Amino acid sequence: MALPAELKEYGAQFLKQYRAFYRAVKRYDRICVFRHIKPDFDAQGTQMGMVQFLRDNFPNKEIHYVGDNHVSFTPRLFPVTETLNEDWFKSGDFLAIIVDVGDHERIADPRYKYAKYKVKIDHHPCKKEIAPRCSILDTESSAASELVADVLLKWKGMRMSPEAARWLYIGIVGDSGRFMFSSTSPHTFAVAQELLKTGFNMRETYLAMYEKSIDSLRSQAYVLSNFHLTPHGVAYYLLPKPVQDELKITSEQGKENVNMFSNIAGINVWCSITEDCDPKDYCWRISIRSKKVDISGIANKWGGGGHAQASGARIDSLDDLDAFLKDLDDLFA
């Protein structure tokens, strides 16, 4: 099937890496796909899309996926991740495909380090290269899934099944904010179109991604009744541990209502700020979203990172809250 111009024209700078990746997949019979901790739609969609595509097209290879499970969507949307014992990795005789993560510390399973060959496909800014021999990185891409789909759709004679396409579509919809963030490009739509052509059920997919429980309405009500607004339009809500307990949510679920503040006139940036009482790493986890202005620099400054309109950060205690909010507020002063 002929690919649209947006796909044909994209990726000339990665030709060498695209080929190296293809050769590596052919060469290794044992492959494991890794992604970032605390996964979101893109991390898991990219990982599962890659796994499904490889299993469909290389049925004789052993293909695995590892990492922590999604806090709300496992097993409703994403399958429980695999548990592989140390022996599987120790020989190093496998290909590690690392997707949607740019920092070593954020890879959800450290055993990628054993791999004789590593490939990384990602859209996060990268501080220290994870796969120096084969890294496909485009920070302009709306989603890692968009990039992975571009790579895989170009493999001649291989089939993109509706199942693989659906996973990648989930990643794109998740990280492009349903095609609304400024990172969404003609290439994003062209990739989405090719994926949709495989015939998976888009309506069912959206329901699986966005359907909420009646219980979750209580959290929404709490957030709407308790949010704050800085002088220049930074909206935020705090979810201390006792409140999470009362609402029966985990700290990771605290960010699930952050997008209630998108599309509100007068709100430029919005954040969820959730207490995480992990005894090994106590902090307040922050999810930051922005209407227009790039907030990734502030996220970097506050122990995190991410993208222009969706980033993550942290503060170690509420003593830092005012300084953090001031940094965001100053973007609009």
Q: How far is CA 261 from CA 233, 271, 290, in A?
A: 11, 9, 10
Per CB under 6 A, the segment of 261-269, 275-283, 310-318, 320-328 that binds ligand AMP is 310-318
**Cα separation, 57 vs 155, whole angstroms:** 10
Q: Would you state the structure tokens that stand for residue 240, as one six-digit string?
A: 């201390």
Per CB under 6 A, the segment of 73-81, 237-245, 298-306, 323-331 that binds ligand AMP is 298-306
Per CB under 6 A, the segment of 63-71, 163-171, 242-250, 305-313 that binds ligand AMP is 305-313
Total number of residues that touch ligand AMP (CB under 6 A):
14
Choose between 94 and 146: whose C-beta lies nearer to ligand AMP: 146
If we measure between CA atoms, which residue out of 180, 124, 181 comes closest to residue 147?
A: 124
Among positions 254-283, residues that touch ligand AMP (CB under 6 A) are 255
Residue 333 Cβ, how far from ligand AMP at the closest point, in Å? 24
**Cα separation, 239 vs 255, whole angstroms:** 9
Binding mask 208-247 for ligand AMP (x = CB under 6 A): ----------------------------------------
Binding mask 18-47 for ligand AMP (x = CB under 6 A): ------------------x---x-------
Per CB under 6 A, the segment of 187-195, 229-237, 276-284, 306-314 that binds ligand AMP is 306-314
Q: Is 160 in the site for ligand AMP (CB under 6 A)?
A: no
* Residue 233 DSSP class: S
Choose between 51 and 258: whose C-beta lies nearer to ligand AMP: 258
Chain-centre distance for alpha carbon 168: 11
Q: Which of 77, 111, 304, 324 binds ligand AMP (CB under 6 A)?
A: 304
Q: Is 311 in the site for ligand AMP (CB under 6 A)?
A: yes
Per CB under 6 A, the segment of 46-54, 82-90, 128-136, 303-311 that binds ligand AMP is 303-311
**Cα separation, 106 vs 92, whole angstroms:** 21
Which residues, listed in sequence order, are joined to residue 118 by a DSSP beta bridge?
96
Helical segments of the chain, H only: 5-9, 15-27, 41-57, 86-90, 144-153, 162-175, 186-196, 202-210, 216-226, 241-247, 296-301, 321-330
Q: Is 305 in the site for ligand AMP (CB under 6 A)?
A: yes
Q: Would you state the structure tokens that stand for residue 158, as one six-digit string?
A: 């291989």
Residue 113 Cβ, how far from ligand AMP at the closest point, in Å? 19
Among positions 51-110, residues that touch ligand AMP (CB under 6 A) are 103, 106
Kindly write down the DSSP assignment for every residue of 260-320, as one continuous string.
GGTT-TT--EEEEEEEE--TTS-EEEEEEEESSS--HHHHHHTT-EE-SSEEEEEESSGGG
**Cα separation, 136 vs 157, whole angstroms:** 22
Whether the Cβ atoms of residue 56 and residue 47 lie closer than 8 Å to each other: no
Residue 33 Cβ, how far from ligand AMP at the closest point, in Å? 16
Give me the residues that bind ligand AMP (CB under 6 A), please. Answer: 36, 40, 103, 106, 124, 255, 287, 304-307, 310-312
